[in-house]
A = this chain, B = another copy of it.
Amino acid sequence: MSSPRTSAPTIGVFDSGFGGLTVLRALVARLPRARFAFIGDTARLPYGSKSRRTIARYAVESAQFLVREQGAEFLVIACNTASALALDAIQEAVPIPVLGVIEPGAAAARAASRTGDVLVIATDATVQSHAYASACRAQGLRAIEKACPLLVPLVEEGWTSHPVTAEVIGIYLDELNAEAAAQGLHADTLVLGCTHYPLLRPAIERAVPAGMRVIDSAESAAEAAAHLFHGRAAPLSSGDTPPTEIRCFATDSVEKFERLGSRFLGRPVGHVELVDLGG
């Protein structure tokens, strides 16, 4: 059945797991009449500890699935690690606009910071890529990045408001603030450079020094995407199109995705379809 062109375009959203559902949640809030196809490459997560070559190969396969199989006309890379290490490779591999989460996060940090000095917490691979430091430098900011590899497992264990999690956040932020001070930075802004971290936002806000602004790159990316897509796709803001349609796909562990995903999306994820990308 061919659908008339008056239907809303499909926005493809890609993550290594289901953390990117925090980005989808922020997108849905801004583009309530769009159609979304989300894929989590759960068979091969986490990307955070893998090499650039491997991450790029995996990410391109997911992007191609969203374009070829789901007809995506826009693509949001809702994964900091893939944005950091594979945005160029994805942009080369698919013929549609592709937006990552790093640049919008850095732009939001610039808008928030008065001192021009910012802190970034993220996964190992994102930090090792120094993608946030580069994006911040392009915005005229100085940035110090820190890998916090325990935070994703703590979120996935469901310990978002557990005392152990507060303790781990405190340790990481103390180390980060000490390093920033040692390098002469006067940081007033903290960027959450991983899509799992918004679930820890209350605990993180309690742990940061008074007056420090916390930037959620998921929110920043959704804001940038909505701006971009509104400019290109008039039907998105029209009342003639049907309400939000979300289809979720995963390369493995559909049950875990369905069970944990609603925490990230803020509503039930419904049925998650299993796809095989050949990995």
Contact = CB atoms under 8 A, between A and B. Distances in A.
A164 B168 contact: yes
A150 interface: yes
B171 A49 contact: no
Nearest to A125: B253
A50 interface: yes
Interface in A115-163: 149-150, 152-154, 156-157
A114 interface: no
Contact of A149 (B43, B51, B156): B156
Interface in A163-217: 164, 167-168, 171
B150 A51 contact: no
Copies in the complex: 2
Secondary structure at the A interface, as helix, strand, loop or mixed, is loop
Interface in A16-72: 42-46, 49-51, 54
Interface string A238-272: 00000000000000110010000000000000000
A4 interface: no
Closest 10 CB pairs of A and B: A153-B153, A279-B279, A54-B252, A43-B54, A50-B252, A51-B252, A150-B153, A149-B157, A51-B253, A150-B157
27 contacts: A42-B50, A43-B44, A43-B50, A43-B54, A44-B44, A44-B279, A45-B49, A46-B46, A49-B253, A49-B256, A50-B252, A51-B252, A51-B253, A54-B252, A149-B153, A149-B156, A149-B157, A150-B150, A150-B153, A150-B154, A150-B157, A152-B153, A153-B153, A164-B167, A164-B168, A167-B167, A279-B279
